[in-house]
């Protein structure tokens, strides 16, 4: 059975790179009827927080990347790592190192001055029994180092990058357990992946350098070596490493911006892989069927926030009004807008006429707020252009007609406006533009008679009267 895992360190919220790795692991597991496992690599208590763990869980759930097993916590597995480290010590594949940080620092600085690369010189491997006993009596702190077989090459076949090779001479005797008994990343990772029977390790390309060390550990402990697939980097449009200047990097920041999780999942899937053809919009279920790990590209992926926003707008157009209402409610509450159960039908109608003009839930909430708030903000250029003397005169004429209208709906309000324009030998646009500005404060928006219909007679009359009191001077002062 295929078994994959995502293993974040709880030092912050889930970010784009981790989310993409989680998604690819999830897709591969579901596609192969396998298991998707969550492991929290919290071996560093000084940097790991419960808040970060909760943020990771929340982020994965928001993206609908539900795990089958876990979360497992490495901090609860220290005795297991110690047991396997002692096996390596007994077999002569590891040794105690008593070197102080001062000695190691001095050796590194010496190598730097001599313009040569530095590796640990195995000083403690060659200590005599007497020297070791003396260090033990003195209570000198010690770590456990792995004895790298330097006379051989380390080779593995990466699913994405093909054959990768490195000489053992280029890998130093790395630490397995620190002096305080905590395991290093490479050691804990191998022990856990083996005991959790992970078949495929799908992770970021930065981990290739770790893979050589991990393969040596798999072999030394007689563990089965999994398949490896290293995913390309995600860069900003400027070709530099993704950072806050390229857009939010925490997944939950995108939620706050009003991005739909299904749109973000779709976009993440395309950061390094393509289903082929012109297909860009697909569901998580479709991605499970289409995804091919071996088709993931070697080249770096480019994160384009504008493309994500476009994709999100496409998802909003295709979403049901009920789905969007569920998503937009928190944004309306943030704006202190009361939501009565009886208003939901009206909200669904408002969403229907505004969703194609909203790139995200935040924008949708702003557009909905126009129908719910007492006061609206008017576009200053619009006030200057359409609420001049001529525009107000047209609004006054329209107000008389609308006040007398008993059957107030989309069809009747359009009909009487066009009749009014015809009777006064004017164009309908001369009434429509001031009306839109009066009702919404904006120059563009949904079809104006849809807006009139949803707002209803009382609010339409109220907004027109308010607009007639506006002048550019008092509007500028109030805003």
Q: Where are the alpha helices (DSSP H) in 32-67?
A: 50-62
Using alpha carbons, list the distances in angstroms from residue 166 to 152, 154, 202, 218. 9, 5, 20, 16
For residue 235, the SS3 value is: strand
Q: Tokens for 261, please give them.
A: 């999780």
**Cα gap 214→191, rounded to integer Å:** 10
Active-site hit among 244, 298, 307, 466: 244
In degrees and rounded to multiples of 5, residue 200 shows phi and psi of: -135, 125
Cis peptide before 71 (omega within 30 of 0): yes
Note whether 343 and 313 are within 8 A (CB): no
- Residue 115: left (phi > 0), alpha (psi -120 to 50), or beta? left
Beta partners for 230?
203
- Cα angle 235, 236, 238; round to 5: 115
Instruction: Note if 213 is an active site residue.
Output: no
Candidates 23, 30, 2, 21; CA nearest to 65 is: 23
By annotation, the residues acting in catalysis are 244
């Amino acid at each position: 059975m295929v078994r994959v895992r995502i293993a974040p360190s709880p030092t912050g919220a889930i970010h784009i790179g981790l989310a993409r790795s989680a998604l690819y692991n999830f897709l591969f597991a579901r596609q192969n009827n396998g298991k998707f496992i969550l492991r929290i690599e919290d071996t560093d208590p000084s940097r790991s927080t419960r808040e970060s763990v909760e943020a990771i869980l929340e982020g994965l759930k928001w993206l609908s990347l539900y795990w089958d097993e876990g979360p497992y916590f490495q901090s609860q597995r220290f005795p297991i790592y110690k047991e396997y480290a002692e096996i390596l010590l007994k077999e002569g594949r590891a040794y105690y190192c008593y070197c102080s940080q001062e000695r190691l620092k001095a050796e590194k600085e010496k190598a730097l001055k001599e313009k040569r690369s530095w590796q640990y010189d195995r000083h403690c491997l060659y200590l005599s029994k007497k020297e070791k006993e003396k260090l033990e009596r003195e209570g000198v702190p010690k770590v456990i180092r792995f004895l790298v077989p330097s006379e051989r090459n380390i080779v593995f076949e990466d699913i994405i990058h093909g054959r990768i090779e490195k000489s053992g001479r280029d890998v130093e005797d790395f630490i397995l357990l620190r002096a305080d008994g905590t395991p290093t990343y490479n050691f804990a990772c191998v022990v856990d992946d083996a005991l959790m029977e992970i078949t495929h390790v799908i992770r970021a390309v930065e981990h290739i350098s770790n893979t050589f060390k991990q393969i040596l550990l798999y072999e030394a402990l007689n563990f089965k070596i999994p398949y490896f697939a290293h995913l390309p980097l995600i860069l900003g449009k400027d070709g530099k490493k993704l950072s806050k200047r390229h857009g939010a990097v925490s997944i939950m920041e995108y939620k706050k911006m009003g991005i739909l999780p299904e749109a973000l999942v779709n976009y993440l899937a395309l950061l390094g892989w393509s289903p082929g053809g012109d297909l860009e919009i697909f569901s998580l279920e479709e991605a499970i069927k289409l995804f091919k790990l071996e088709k993931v590209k070697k080249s770096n992926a480019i994160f384009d926030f504008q493309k994500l926003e476009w994709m999100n707008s496409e998802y909003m157009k295709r979403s049901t009004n009920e789905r969007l209402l569920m998503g937009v409610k928190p944004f309306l509450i943030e704006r202190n807008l009361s939501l009565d159960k009886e208003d939901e039908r009206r909200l669904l109608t408002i969403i229907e006429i505004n969703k194609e003009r909203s790139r995200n839930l935040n924008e949708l909430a702003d557009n909905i707020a126009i129908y719910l708030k007492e006061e609206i903000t008017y576009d200053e250029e619009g006030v200057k252009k359409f609420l001049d003397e001529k525009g107000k005169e047209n609004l006054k004429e329209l107000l008389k007609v609308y006040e007398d209208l008993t059957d107030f709906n989309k069809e009747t309000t359009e009909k009487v406006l066009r009749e009014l324009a015809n009777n006064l030998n004017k164009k309908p646009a001369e009434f429509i533009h001031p009306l839109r500005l009066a009702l919404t404060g904006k120059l563009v928006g949904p079809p104006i008679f849809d807006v009139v219909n949803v707002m209803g007679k009382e609010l339409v009359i109220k907004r027109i009267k308010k607009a007639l009191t506006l002048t550019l001077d008092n509007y500028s002062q109030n805003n």
